[in-house]
Amino acid sequence: MSEVAVVAYGAGNVASVQFALERLGASVRLTDDPAVVADAERVILPGVGAAGYAMTRLAELGLVEPLRAFSRPLLGVCLGQQLLFERSEEGDGVRMLGVIPGAVRRLAPEGDLPVPHMGWSRLTPDRDDPLLDDVAAGAYAYFVHGFACPDGPATLARADYGGAVPAVVRSANRWGCQFHPERSADTGATILKNFLSLPC
């Protein structure tokens, strides 16, 4: 049975992530303890809301360095994906975990599409990766976000929302999903199952 530490730092919908993982047979520990995170088999960093608040909470709890140093599979979800990058233009600018190069910017879709992006969008894989095994091109995922990560070498899959939105990213042992896999039906369950199967 895979063991997962879900970082419960007051900026994520940890209960729905926990239940989605448990449905797949994982043993889940909700934690804000840096030592537990550092020793975990694998880690999920969820996130909802503002990057500045999230980084402040991670710093207050002593979680910034354990997350930066974590060497086994780590998955950032929604805001958690954005926190993997170097900085965000939110507010006056926010320094983030910096494990993937680039800056997160306010979502600015072409046309009259509303921001935040809320709803189902299709995924277009860019390259093969174990996290995306059995995820078909055009599969739907559920998004809720007003900022977007830079589209670059880390991008594994994109969504189209008045322009390309990096939907899945990876750098070394760190992956991110801009969407909510725990709310993305079969697509999300497949991605979470794949994450649980990644070698540690």
Most distant pair of Cα atoms in the chain: their distance: 47
**And the tokens for 186?**
């079969």
Tens of pLDDT, residues 74-112: 999 999 999 999 999 998 899 999 999 999 999 999 988
pTM equals 0.97
Parent domain of 192 = 3-197
Question: Residue 16, CB half-sphere, CA atoms under 13 Å: how many?
Answer: 14
| C-alpha span between 166 and 158 (Å, rounded) | 4
Tens of pLDDT, residues 144-169: 999 999 999 999 999 999 999 999 99
**And the tokens for 33?**
């303890």
Looking at the structure of the chain, the number of domains it has is 1
Question: Which residues participate in catalysis according to the annotation?
Answer: 78, 180, 182
CATH of the domain at 21: 3.40.50.880
What is the average pLDDT score of the chain?
A: 96
Q: Which residues contact 136 (CB under 8 A, 6 or more apart)?
A: none
